[in-house]
Structure 1
Amino acid sequence: MQGRSFVKIKLFQFVLSDFTEKGAFLLFPKDKGFRLITLQEAMSVFGISRATIDRWRRSKQLPTIKIGKEVFFDPDELQMWIKSHSVCGAAADRPESAPAESLTVSIGYQSGTAHMWSPLIMKELGFFEEELRKQFPHRPIKVLWHNAENGLELVEGLISGLIQIASLGDYPIRICSSLGKLLPNFQPVLLAFDGKTRNGKGISVVVPSNSIIRKPDDLANVTISTVANSSAGMRLNRLLTSIGAAEQEHPNVIHRSMSESLTDIVDRRVGASAMWEPYLSLLRHWGAGTVLFEEGMYEDYLTGLVAGERWAANNEAIVIAYLKAHVRVHQLMRSEPASAAKRVQASTGIPQTVAWRVLSNVRWDAAVYPRDLNTLQRLEERFPGMAPELYPIRAKTDYLNIALEEMGLPSIEASPQGNEWPREQMY
């Protein structure tokens, strides 16, 4: 972040000096001692976006003059500001004509989790790359998309620095916050939410078609598959605890990937499986499975975006670009679910009708509301081995609000903040 800003500021200084010496961009005669540069002129000549200028005004106190709705710059104040933000070191010795350093960002997502299909669609449409080009018009950009089998794989990527932004389910988000207390160099923050459903809808226990299992007590003596340390596995543990057979004590719980669990149900190799969408809908579509709890299991099922706090602070423009793309995808998924489903089918092979049905049942909303944070807190309170007072959720919504502002959308603070989701406004 610092190196990028320095290069732009140096370019700013060079061009500003050149143009003010020639008397260009003068709204008033130079001999009258008052001259201003317009916002559009600054954007065009210096090769920076309006978003970059707005960000520097907020975070770096870039001096501007506002007359009505118009924004201007005083060259003398601008020169002083540029000098105050100059830095020493290797970057200062780089020639102005040197090629711009390439920008590489790694995004972790899970195409096998329907509530996190936002990055999958974003990748298909190129929204993130588009937003990055607006922020960095003169830098080569490369986005690495890491499609993971499960959330823990992405958590490991965040810790190692191989992944910068990851889409995670509610339980892996909780694991992240716990690890943040154990690993001093890993301080995760929740940037925004993704797909949400009430009462855990979208996660359930499924049994093979024609199974005699009909109620929770019937699960006590059957083999059950699920993904270890996942949102589905966590809810399965709670269900088994309610019938006196916690997962850690249940002799027949096996940990399998979701695709393997799907095959296990189809081939009737297990008696049941704790699964998430779209696997529930796929089994019903094929007539190969029966969902026991149609309305879901327990608390709201939440998914969200997590990044390292230090990385996010040093790469604010990238974070904002991603969140703008994230909100744009949500707008598409809400208004054109059929179009979004077509993208899912192209990327995963899941039938478009199945994808459309799943997409339509999810609340696509990036906003972080008290209801959501309370839900994550309750996950800790109800499961052994987690201490909520030690591992509080750390949400940082500043970036999302900046992204919303730049998109001309109301900030989250302007929305209802009770323990319910707003019915009209979604992001």
Structure 2
Amino acid sequence: MKIKPVVAAFLVLAPLTACGGNATAGDDGSTVTVTVGYQSKTINTVTAGTLLRSLGYFEKQLNALHDGHTYKVDWQDYATGAPITAQMTAGKIDIGSMGDFPLLINAARGKQLNRPTRLVAATGYNLRGGLNTIVTAPGSKLSTLEDLKGRKVSTSVGSAADGTLVRALRDAGLDANEDIEKLNQQPAVGASALSAGSTDALSQFVAWPGLLAYQGKAKALYDGAQLNLPTFHGVTAREDFAKRRPAVLEAFLKAQARATDYLNDHPVEASEKVAEATGLPAEVVYLYNGAHGIATFDPALKPALIAALKKDVPILKAAKLTGDVDVDAFVDDRYVRKALGASYAKRLAATPAPARSEVWPKDAEETKTFKTPAELLAHVAGHKDDIRAAYVPDATTGTQWFADKAVWVADGGRLLPFVAPATAKAYVTAHPGARVITYAAALEQAS
């Protein structure tokens, strides 16, 4: 699997003399290099990767240890979780972040190779599963999952997006192994295949569906939140590293919590930082990571997330990607509990706020929220030249989506947005008199 080039960042300018949390002699004592694997464009891991690196919080926490060591951080950027797992089980990465399905493969490979890993924190999550989306080409006539029968569908096998595809097709009465031609491709390759017409649909994780929709290269076919099953990303650490360097892991988790607070307190600035580091449009980053974005960020390992992880195991077993995975043994919240102290219980009990309709004005450092999608549309209609992006929550699932990419339904005086055509159609069927309208018609009615 092709991976992105490795980029290193150090606290001090010195040759790289150790990795895997090992120590070597230095002029001012021992030097410890901590290697962190992350996925810059998987933007629901940014509090343990892209944003954390940008803010420099981990380095600051390490410098504050004052334990006689000089610390270096080697940040390694990958396209997916699989190479991070490979490097971890080879003893070359100490801490990594990835999605829920890759986390289970991480656990399985670690046990198999006698290099056990542990899930030590969460990053971004969506309790309904909205982080994964199935999209088709803009001009595609496909409008339901049933339409995918006999078609080519690109996904990354072993990813959370693949799990969404398998489950969604199963709910539609289709078998992902028999009724479609599944193409196992990295996200960027699948995106190119969709644009080239060599695949009929693409099932992928954040931020690919939102990016392609924003660019006008795709439209949503299926909102993963229809599964009503949590999806999340998390932080995994090698067990031997955690035992040998508990203070370092604690420093990382403290830094992650601080980056999480920064993202939640400064969502626009955080999105801009991630956009600058990744090359992704800030409007797409904000769709997922914004104040009312699809993802909620919290390092606490909530019971709902762990329960969902257990439900993922049979999907991976059926695909012969893992055997049994002891999720309870894999989860280890001792380090994050210690790192967060008294605040952990509060974080654990916190629930995501309902999504709101939101506009990001041009040249503005703050967004505007509205009580209803219709109010947002009325504002957009009157400020068409001053809108950077407009977001609305799906009327059924609550998944945030771009207002101009949503499927709109007029139900009397109400204007309701939906991510996918099938959910809009279901609403219309259940509500006599309701009808699907264009975005332009919705704007006109709102104004």
Fold match by TM threshold 0.5 = yes
The 1-side partners of 2:32 and 2:326 are apart by 36
Is 1:375–2:312 an aligned residue pair? no
**Aligned sequence identity (%):** 23
Give the structure 2 partner of residue 403 of structure 1: 339
* Counterpart contact for 1:377–1:388, Cα < 8 Å: no
Q: Tell me the distance in 1 between the aligned counterparts of 2:178 and 2:73.
A: 43
Q: Secondary structure at the match of 2:343?
A: coil
Q: Which moved more, 1:316-325 or 1:393-402?
A: 393-402
Aligned to 1:307: 237
Change (3 A) 1:389 1:192: closer
1:393 Cα shift? Answer: 4.8
Q: Is the 8 A contact 1:376 1:393 kept in 2?
A: no
Please show how residues 102-113 of structure 1 align to structure 2 within 5 Å. 102-113=31-42
Q: Deviation of residue 242 (structure 1)?
A: 3.9
Name the counterpart of 1:363.
296
Tell me which of 201, 204, 207 is aligned to 1:275: 204
TM norm structure 1:
0.70
2:144 is aligned to 215
Per the alignment, residue 237 of structure 1 pairs with 166
Would you say the 8 A contact 2:134–2:222 is kept in 1?
A: yes
8 Å CA contact 2:110–2:116 kept in 1: the answer is yes
Using the TM superposition, name which of 387-396 and 165-174 deviates more: 387-396
Matches within 5 A, 1:95-106: 99-106=28-35
| Residue number in structure 1 paired with 2:186 | 257
- For each residue in 1:105-146, what CA deviation from the matched residue of structure 2 results, as whole angstroms up to 9, or x when unmatched? 110111121211221011111111111100146533221111
For residues 191 and 262 of structure 1, what CA distance do their matches in structure 2 show? 32
Superposed counterparts of 1:14-93, under 5 Å? none
SS of residue paired to 1:292: strand
* Residue 83 (structure 2) aligns with: 153
Gaps of at least 5 residues in structure 2 are: 1-23, 354-447
1:208-259: CA deviation from partner (whole Å, max 9, x where unpaired): 0021111111111111111121111122122334455433335621111111
Q: 1:393 to 1:283 in 2, by over 3 A?
A: farther
1:113–1:278 CA contact under 8 A, matched in 2: yes
Distance in 1 between the 2:152 and 2:93 partners? 35
Q: CA deviation at 1:341?
A: 0.9
Post-superposition shift, 1:342? 1.1
Question: For residues 322 and 114 of structure 1, do their structure 2 counterparts lie closer, same or farther at Cα, with a shift above 3 Å needed?
Answer: same
Is 1:352 aligned with 2:282? yes
The verdict on how the C-alpha distance between 1:242 and 1:423 changes in structure 2, with shifts beyond 3 A counting, is closer
Q: How far apart are 1:180 and its partner, in Å? A: 3.9
Query: Which is helix-richer, 1 or 2?
Result: 1
Q: Which has the larger Rg?
A: 1
Please name the residue that 2:61 is paired with.
131
- Higher percent of residues as strand: 2
Q: For the residues of structure 1 that align with 2:325 and 2:85, how far apart are their CA atoms?
A: 22
Equivalent position amino acid for 2:119 in 1: L
Partners in 1 of 2:255 and 2:171 — Cα distance? 41
Q: Which residue of 1 aligns with 2:221?
A: 292
TM-score by length of 2: 0.67
Please say if residues 230 and 304 of structure 2, whose CA atoms lie closer than 8 Å, have aligned partners that are also in contact. Answer: no
Residue 396 of structure 1 deviates from its aligned partner by 1.6
Q: Partners of 2:165 and 2:220 in 1: how far apart?
A: 14
Q: 2:164 touches 2:224 (CA, 8 Å); kept in 1?
A: no
Aligned-pair CA distance for 1:288: 1.5
Provide the C-alpha distance between the structure 2 equivalents of 1:256 and 1:126, rounded to a whole number of angstroms.
Answer: 33
Taking a change above 3 Å as real, the CA distance of residues 292 and 313 of structure 1, as seen in their structure-2 partners, is same
Measured after TM superposition, the shift of residue 416 of structure 1 is 6.1
Deviation at 1:382, TM superposition (A): 5.1
Task: Say whether residues 1:164 and 2:83 are aligned partners.
Answer: no
Alpha-carbon distance, 1:98 to partner = 6.2
Q: CA RMSD in A?
A: 2.4
The secondary structure found in structure 1 opposite 2:92 is coil
**Conserved? CA contact 2:298–2:347, under 8 Å:** no
**Partners of 1:177 and 1:393 within 8 A in 2:** no
Rounded to whole Å, the distance in 1 between the matches of 2:36 and 2:134 is 30
SS at match of 2:337: helix
Aligned length: 322
Question: How far off its partner does 1:164 sit?
Answer: 0.4
Letter in 1 for 2:124: G
Q: Distance in 2 between matches of 1:280 and 1:423?
A: 22
State whether residues 206 and 291 of structure 1, in contact with CA within 8 Å, keep that contact through their aligned partners in structure 2. yes
For the residues of structure 2 that align with 1:280 and 1:135, how far apart are their CA atoms?
Answer: 41
| Counterpart in the other structure of 2:108 | 178
